[in-house]
């Protein structure tokens, strides 16, 4: 059972962010007395039971704060940000923690004196728009804890994935390559069925200490089932 299937046992409103990360809207769920914290606890337990993986969960009343909460107390976190404790929690939050603010944007903000949530609150909307164009209004609202984006379970799919969790660690390079090849071929079938093109192959591997590496390679032409591309595994030290 993959992690996405476990999410689906609890709600249909799932917005994937990556292979093992997603937003879940459980606002109207009656499971576990309708408690988002209890639902998150149950999901974490099921993930551990079915995949032997440790998951981190963040709970709040909008996506911006839920994302921040999910990064707290990792790798085995379950963090709740309620409206009552929101202001106290994020008053000194640095702009790097704003979801969607990368290093370059954070540097531009800091260069203009917008170093944390407290400073960003006193910056006018017109200033944000002047500095960051169309994204200015989004950053302005985040600085005031305003995030009205719904959990979108109809996003246009930009990637396809397949994953395997092993009951026991595999250490042979040959075994790793064999499993990667099997996963690749599963995805090539999906791509052909959906009449899609894939130009970038990405491999994610998680070690027994939960250290994860990701490697990508963009191909000169689309990967098709008839091409039967082989995968190679490499590691940086």
Same domain, 79 and 98: no
Same domain, 163 and 234: yes
In a domain, 18, yes or no: yes
Same domain, 166 and 192: yes
pLDDT in tens, 116-168: 766 666 678 888 888 888 888 888 887 777 888 888 877 656 667 777 777 78
Q: Which of 142-146, 159-163, 222-226, 229-233 has the highest mean pLDDT?
A: 142-146
Catalytic entry in 5, 12, 15, 21: 21
In a domain, 153, yes or no: no
Residue 233 pLDDT: 44
Nearest CA to 214 out of 206, 204, 224 is that of 204
In a domain, 154, yes or no: no
Q: Please report which residue ranges of the chain form alpha helices under DSSP H.
A: 3-8, 36-51, 63-70, 83-90, 103-111, 117-121, 125-132, 136-142, 173-193
The CA–CA distances, whole Å, from 191 to 198, 222, 225, 226, 227 equal 7, 10, 8, 12, 13
Same domain, 163 and 130: no
Same domain, 73 and 97: no
Q: Which domain holds residue 111?
A: 91-142
Same domain, 128 and 165: no
What CATH number is attached to the domain comprising 134?
A: 1.10.150.20
pLDDT band at 43 (very low <50, low <70, confident <90, very high): very high
pLDDT at 231 over 90: no
Same domain, 55 and 95: no
Domain count, the chain: 3
In a domain, 25, yes or no: yes
In a domain, 189, yes or no: yes
Assess whether 185 carries a catalytic annotation: no
> Please, which residues have CB within 8 angstroms of residue 140's CB and are 6 or more apart in sequence?
120, 123, 125, 128, 129
In a domain, 172, yes or no: yes
pLDDT in tens, 71-103: 888 888 899 988 888 777 777 677 777 777 778
In a domain, 218, yes or no: yes
Q: Which of 53-67, 152-166, 210-224 has the highest mean pLDDT?
A: 53-67
Same domain, 177 and 217: yes
pLDDT in tens, 165-210: 777 888 888 888 888 888 888 888 877 777 777 778 888 888 877 7
Same domain, 104 and 57: no
Crossing angle of the two packed helices 103-111 and 125-132, in degrees rounded to 10: 130
């Amino acid at each position: 059972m993959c992690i996405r299937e476990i999410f689906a046992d609890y709600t249909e409103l799932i917005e994937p962010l990556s292979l093992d990360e997603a937003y879940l809207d459980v606002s109207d769920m009656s499971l576990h007395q309708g408690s988002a914290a209890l639902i998150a606890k149950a999901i974490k337990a099921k993930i551990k039971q079915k995949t032997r993986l440790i998951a981190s969960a963040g709970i709040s009343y909008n996506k911006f704060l839920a994302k921040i909460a999910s990064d707290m107390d990792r790798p085995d976190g379950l963090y709740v940000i309620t409206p009552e404790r929101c202001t106290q929690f994020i008053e000194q939050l640095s702009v790097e923690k704003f979801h969607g603010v990368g290093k370059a944007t954070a540097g531009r903000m800091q260069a203009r004196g917008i170093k944390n949530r407290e400073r960003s609150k006193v910056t006018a909307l017109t200033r944000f728009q002047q500095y960051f164009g169309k994204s200015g209004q989004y950053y302005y609202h985040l600085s005031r804890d305003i995030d009205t984006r719904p959990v979108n379970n109809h996003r246009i799919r930009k990637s396809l994935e397949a994953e395997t969790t092993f009951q026991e660690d595999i250490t042979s390079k040959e075994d790793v390559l064999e499993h990667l090849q099997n996963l690749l071929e599963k995805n090539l079938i999906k791509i052909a069925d959906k009449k899609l093109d894939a130009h970038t192959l990405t491999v994610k591997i998680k070690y027994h200490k939960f250290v994860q590496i990701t490697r990508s390679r963009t191909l000169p032409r689309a990967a098709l089932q008839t091409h039967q591309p082989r995968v190679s595994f490499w590691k940086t030290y």
